[in-house]
Structure 1
Amino acid sequence: MTIETSPSRRAARPRFPSGRLPDPHDRSGVGATRGERTDRMGERTDRMRVLVAIPTTNQMYSGIGRAIVELSRRLGRRVEFTFALDDRDPRSLRRVWELAEPMGASMLVGPHRFEPDCVEPSNTRLPEIIEESPWDAIELVGFANAATGRAVLRHIDDRTALCYTPHDQPLWTVPMSPEQRANVAEVHRRVIERADVVLADSEAERRSLQRLSPHRLNGETLPLGCDFESFDAGPLDRPPQLLFVGDLAEIRKRFDRVIDVFSRVLERRPEYRLVVIGNRSAESADLIPEAIRTAVDLRGYVSEPELRRAYASSRSLVLLSDVEAFGLPILESLACGTPVLLGRLDTTESLFDGFPGVHFCPLDDPEGTFEVADLLLGDWRSAVASACADRRRLCAEFDWGRLADRKWRALSAAWARRNASTALGPRGGPPGLDRADAGGRPCR
């Protein structure tokens, strides 16, 4: 793997003759860029070149990071990924390094700089990185990344496809000034307008984004996924344990609702414990009433194996957020056969309605929420058995390998639309479209 601090010498972007669909891997006449590669059978073996632009202030250990890691790994034979990041957050840089190193991918790390009207830092070298190499596509990640989005819009050329993966949330979920809020909203809208494809975490998010640009039909639903071999179903017999997974410093997670429900659970079932896992959870002891503190286990940020063990040994995950772009713990919990007490939101309902392991709660009705929890815990063995039995259908919707195939098709189609002239030639798009190397294995 290489980590570069400045891009290579600028190479001219080729222009293609009219009347045929150009091949994004054809680098004839592109100066110092690598030439076409073929195997002994004459098949093309080079890959689509995609620049992933993301500030390190995006928590790469969250669902956003997991999606980048899992999809990029599975698309490594089809796509040559390069990651452009600033140098502000060593933890996020380490997370991307752990992905990029085994893939042999490049990380282009530049100094960070904050701009007054933006909430996140910008990579000061991003304009050079964009302009000095002929990218087939740029993927912009994160809805509140106005500085990064603005740089991409200013410097992307007319042959480069733009893929926008916002993981969208309401603006109030990110602390920012009124000026920053207005700027984030405006850049977000402009990126949607320019994007060749907008990848939404849920059907509800896709509909919401479509309303910002009603004349553009560029939205596709690509949810987050799960590695069903790693997140295996846990045993049917489990200790009296509930689980919360999330960043307690985010007010949208509404840990206060979880504590309220758990307090009422203890009144009827004093043997229960609440395990709390997530970033900054250890600093949140003051949120827990003294009377129940001994029944709450604050574990903080844990390793992946420890997280999977916690899912598999719990009788239910409790997630009662005001907002979820996706809610990766919901899916991982269900994959382990663990029922979920879940707030009924447009996003979560569009993703998980119909799965028997999901027990929706009325968020603005504490009594109604407790009734759902009490009913589940009254027959928790049946609830766990139902969740375990539904793994095959869950895998069909959310297996990372199948989602990687869908992302590849979305990127290929976006590139084709961007580069097609009025009459398409015989080549239907970038090579490798029909390869199945990213596909998922049958679920167990």
Structure 2
Amino acid sequence: MADLRVLADATPLLGRRTGIGRYTASLVGELASLVDLRLIGFTTRGWRELRSVAPAGARVVGPPVPARVLRSMWSRGPLPPVELLAGTSDVVHGTNFVLPPSARAGGVVTVHDLAFLDEPSEAPGLEALVRASVRRAAAVCTPTEAVADAVGTRLGVEQSKIVVTPLGVDREWFDAEPDAELRQRLPADYLLFVGADGPRKDLPGLLRALDEQLPPLVVVGPGEPGHDGRVQRIGYLPDPQLRSVVAGARALVLPSRDEGFGLPALEALACGVPVVCSDIPALREVTGGHAELFRYGDAEGLRAALHRALDAGAPEAGRTHAARFTWRACAEATLRAYRMAADR
């Protein structure tokens, strides 16, 4: 399908990459060799940067336009169509919840999770945009079957329109090792939390579960570095440093109320680190029986799961499981959605 013209929203490639930024970067890196890929950034500040981060084989198109203005217009109707900004294409892919309206192109939108329904104050106005996007889309991509079920139930999307596109694990994770220089700044043994300190991640619940027999906690994510008792925050890390910090952890902990995929859990398994996570549908699906699970919000259950993980270590089967998730497979599943959109 190299002649299929695909326009993808590449705005998540700009700035410090969160999970959606990493998804978008890895996906377009694979798609560039599979389709005629054009990338557009809905921004003014980082617009020029997109050319330097675009993968080989992809073409950056469109003028600098602020996302806020476009989202405000798109929340009221299908104008302006994206063709006015980027020219014609066969398929338009909204990689980050919002599908730009188009005059002719088939639409595909990725819905990563439904946190915007449960915590609307964290993303004002997003619900209306997502509902409009899934109505316009010929295909809706989700990272897990769990999110696919929720999208069908809570957004009213027909299952025939949904394509599950599991995320991948970069090969570098399987060879990751602790970095000696970084280790000098960290405890000799530590538990690890990776992510933003938002309500659905339940970092406070993890702090309540810690006891003196457990290693101290290292937190990687947005925010200022610093110490607070047995908790060390080290801020945002680029991917190479993040891999080293994960590889050196005694266990990675995801105490989330909700996840769309939970990529840090799979990455930790890839480098042989035990995983402890809440027993919620997406994390059960992704970890595939290779994590210690506990009931969300149960501090005693989390504490017991942490002790079990440290006693047991990480079986090699976890690495084998993680190796089944590749970005090429994600791209090929996404191509199925593109075919649905192009053939609508």
Q: How does 1:6-405 map to 2 (within 5 A)?
A: 47-53=3-9, 61-88=17-44, 90=46, 94=49, 96-100=50-54, 102-112=56-66, 114=68, 118=72, 127=81, 129-130=83-84, 133-143=87-97, 145=98, 149=99, 152-153=100-101, 155-157=102-104, 160-171=105-116, 172-175=118-121, 180-181=124-125, 184-211=126-153, 212-213=155-156, 215=158, 217-232=160-175, 234=177, 239-248=188-197, 250-262=198-210, 264=211, 267-269=212-214, 272-282=215-225, 288=228, 293=229, 295-354=230-289, 356=290, 358-377=291-310, 379=311, 382-384=312-314, 386=315, 388-396=316-324, 398-405=325-332
Shift of 1:76: 1.3
Instruction: Give structure 1 stretches of 5+ with no counterpart.
Output: 1-24, 26-45, 419-444
Instruction: Kindly indicate whether the alpha-carbon contact (under 8 Å) linking 2:144 and 2:165 is maintained by their aligned counterparts in 1.
Output: yes
Instruction: Kindly indicate whether the alpha-carbon contact (under 8 Å) linking 1:56 and 1:93 is maintained by their aligned counterparts in 2.
Output: no
CA 1:299/1:230 → structure 2, altered by over 3 Å: closer, same or farther? same
1:22-53, Cα deviation, whole Å (9 max, x unpaired): xxx8xxxxxxxxxxxxxxxxxxxx53211113
Is the deviation greater in 202-211 or in 167-176?
167-176
Q: Percent identity?
A: 26
The match for 2:184 is: none
1:244-267, Cα deviation, whole Å (9 max, x unpaired): 11112x2222211222223x1xx2
Q: What's the secondary structure of 2:107's corresponding residue? A: strand
Name the amino acid aligned to 1:156: A
CA 1:193/1:99 → structure 2, altered by over 3 Å: closer, same or farther? same
CA 1:309/1:116 → structure 2, altered by over 3 Å: closer, same or farther? closer
Shift of 1:365: 1.6
Instruction: Kindly indicate whether the alpha-carbon contact (under 8 Å) linking 2:32 and 2:58 is maintained by their aligned counterparts in 1.
Output: no
The match for 2:339 is: 412
Name the amino acid aligned to 1:393: H
Name the amino acid aligned to 1:173: E
1:152-193, Cα deviation, whole Å (9 max, x unpaired): 33x432xx221110212232435368xx54xx3343223222
Between the aligned partners of 1:173 and 1:57, the Cα distance in structure 2 is 24
Between the aligned partners of 1:119 and 1:370, the Cα distance in structure 2 is 48
Name the amino acid aligned to 2:33: R
Is the deviation greater in 52-61 or in 195-204?
52-61
Between the aligned partners of 2:236 and 2:144, the Cα distance in structure 1 is 26
Shift of 1:216: 5.7
Between the aligned partners of 2:73 and 2:251, the Cα distance in structure 1 is 36
Shift of 1:111: 2.9
Name the amino acid aligned to 1:206: A
Name the amino acid aligned to 1:259: L
Between the aligned partners of 2:6 and 2:58, the Cα distance in structure 1 is 14
Instruction: Kindly indicate whether the alpha-carbon contact (under 8 Å) linking 1:164 and 1:198 is maintained by their aligned counterparts in 2.
Output: yes
CA 1:87/1:130 → structure 2, altered by over 3 Å: closer, same or farther? same
Between the aligned partners of 1:97 and 1:246, the Cα distance in structure 2 is 27
The match for 2:182 is: none
1:65-93, Cα deviation, whole Å (9 max, x unpaired): 11111121112122222222232553x97
1:134-161, Cα deviation, whole Å (9 max, x unpaired): 2110001223x4xxx4xx33x432xx22
CA 1:411/1:351 → structure 2, altered by over 3 Å: closer, same or farther? same
Q: What is the aligned-residue RMSD (CA, Å)?
A: 3.3
Shift of 1:414: 3.1
1:364-402, Cα deviation, whole Å (9 max, x unpaired): 22112111112222x1xx422x1x333223212x11122
CA 1:258/1:406 → structure 2, altered by over 3 Å: closer, same or farther? same
Between the aligned partners of 1:57 and 1:401, the Cα distance in structure 2 is 18
CA 1:137/1:253 → structure 2, altered by over 3 Å: closer, same or farther? same
Shift of 1:58: 8.7
Shift of 1:54: 5.7
Give the TM-score taking structure 1 as reference length: 0.66
Between the aligned partners of 1:119 and 1:241, the Cα distance in structure 2 is 47
Between the aligned partners of 1:241 and 1:314, the Cα distance in structure 2 is 6
CA 1:128/1:408 → structure 2, altered by over 3 Å: closer, same or farther? closer
